[in-house]
Structure formats: C-alpha cells, structure tokens
Amino acid sequence: LWMAERFLTRSNLSRRAVAAPLAPGTSVLYPQVGMTTLTRRGWRGDKRAEPEEDVAADRELPDDDSDNSKAPRLTLMEEVLLLGLQDKEGYPSFWNDCLSPGLRGGILIELALRGRIHLEPLTARKKRLLDRKVLLKSAAPTGDVLLDETLRHIKASESTETVQTWIELLTGETWNPFKLQYQLRNVRERVAKGLVEKGILTTGKQSFLLFDMTTHPVCDTTEKQRLLRKLQDSVLERWTGDLRRMDRRLLALLVLAHASDVLEKALGSLEDTQYEMAMSRAKDVLEADAELAAAQGRGTEVIWAVLAAFSRA
C-alpha cells in the first residue's frame, strides 16, 4: 500500500507539471525564477552600449554647445580657420604664417579628443611632453577626411614620432625626402570646403594682378559671432581660474588660436578693460606649466604638448 500511494503521488505531480503551461522565456531545464526588483532592473541592462571609447568620443558634444544644439558642430580646425578668415574677403591675412601649422596641431588634438591617439606613458627617461611619442589608440574612421588621412599616416609610419615632429611632417617641413609622403596638402581649402557644406561659408573668386584666388566669404555671421562669444566667454564670464575645471575643447581652442596667431583678432572686438582682462587670463593659461597641467588634467596631454611645441618653436 505504501509503494502504491507513493507511485500515485509522483504520477499526479508529473501530470500537473506537464499540464501546467510554461511561462514565456522558460524551459524544463531552466524553470522561471521569480524576478526581484533588482533583477528586473538589471534585465534590460543586459543590452550593453557600445564600449568603444572612440565611438563615445565622436558622439560627445562640447559642454558649451549644449544650449545651442541646432548649431552645426565644428571641428577644431574649422573653428580656427573661421577665426582667422576675414569675413568679406574670404581669406586669412597674407602676413599670417602660423595658420598652417596651427591647423595641423588642431588635427592632432581633435584625434586625441576623439580617442584615436595618445601619448606614450611617462618613463624615467621620457618625462617631458615633447619627448613622448604619439601612439595610435584606435584606427576606427572618424568620418572626417583630414582626420582619417592623418590616422593612416600615423598607422603607416615605421617609427613613432613626437607631437612636434608630427606637426612638422604634416606641414611638410622636413629635409627627409622619404618623410614628404606624410604632408597634408590643401588643408585650408579642404577645411573651408567643410564649412561651405555646413552653410557657414560660401565660395567666390577674386582676381589679383598675376593670378585668381578662390575665396570663402562668411555667409553665416551668426555662427561666426557665436564662436567669437564662446572664445571670449572662456576668459571672461565662464572663467574658472582653475585649468582642471576648464572644458577641454575650450582649452584646445584657446591654445590653437594662440598657436595660429588669431587670438588677438578674436578678442579685438572687446572693450579696452575687457580686452586687457581677457588677454591677461589667456596669458595665464598659455604661460602655465604645461608638464604640471598635463599631469593634473584628464585627457589633456596632447593639448599641452601642442602648446609646448609652439612655445618652443
């Protein structure tokens, strides 16, 4: 009797288990377990976002542009060229010979901010920013022609180079004929073409005595004024006095404007008292200890290395 009763009990349990419908997403091998609040919250989190730092850096918008999301996003090279252009004439000053290397420095900083390159770690023999080599962090395309071309040059280079050497190579200032392949050609025209596509510049032509020159007058003065206000506010209303709290893209823009010799022109519309204050604060940034600032600031090593390269030149 005892054996018969045990057999009947097992049969009833098996019959109930077969008859009971399975909940969605469960199986006989992995029965459904009641979800707690924590597991339910974490269940949707199984879908991880793309972990690549370069993708996140590409999508990252500058903090100072958060209030004007409809404005076109400009690269550092486009901002520097826009600052250097004469609005009506559509070309920079003929006396400015710093713009070309400044644009190359902007390319390196832009690549660093997008997580594509970085400086080699500190060692006992290589402590200075100008002694540390540029290393490739990610070769993923950025979608920008100049940035991607520079990435290919850095990847194809047989030897690693410093920031200062890369600025010289990208500018074409080298005596080594085998290094001329790394020169970026027609950088101003290609950067201006990007601004034309974004509706900020237009294309024209001006005739001189011996030649005709393609010009790019400013057609969207609102964007130009917004850029000027952003740079001016970085050393006036938004001045923090602490380099560690300064937005990285604003810091880079200030450094590149100085390196490209367009900073005084960008601050020239200020009143005398504001101009003196802005230039004094900009001087504090540009004359800061680059080694110390790079060690304290997160992700700013390439920015300070570019400043050190131009300060040494």
Helix 163-171 / helix 99-113 crossing angle, nearest 10 deg: 130
Specify the pLDDT at position 68: 53
Of 111, 118, 122, nearest in space to 150 by CA: 111
Single pTM value for the model: 0.79
Intervals of the chain under pLDDT 70: 1-71, 313
Specify the pLDDT at position 293: 94
The number of helix segments (H) and strand segments (E) in the chain equals: 14, 4
206 DSSP β-pair partners: 213
Handedness of CA 117, 121, 127, 133 (dihedral sign): negative
Tell how strand 204-207 and strand 134-136 pair up.
Answer: unpaired
Q: Which string of b and e fits 165-183 if b means at least 16 CB within 10 Å? A: bbbbbbbeeeeeeebeebb
The ranges assigned to domains in the chain are: 53-58+70-312
Burial class (CB in 10 A: 0-12, 13-18, 19+), 153: middle
Contact 196, 242 (CB under 8 A): no
CA–CA separation, 52 and 141 (whole Å) = 13
Residue with tokens 């252009």: 85
Q: Hey, what are 246's tokens?
A: 């300064």
Specify the pLDDT at position 57: 52
Specify the pLDDT at position 126: 80
CA 163 to chain centre: 16
Of 224, 266, 234, 228, nearest in space to 96 by CA: 266
Evaluate whether the domain defined by 53-58+70-312 bears CATH number 1.10.3630.10: yes
Specify the pLDDT at position 125: 81
CA 281 to chain centre: 24
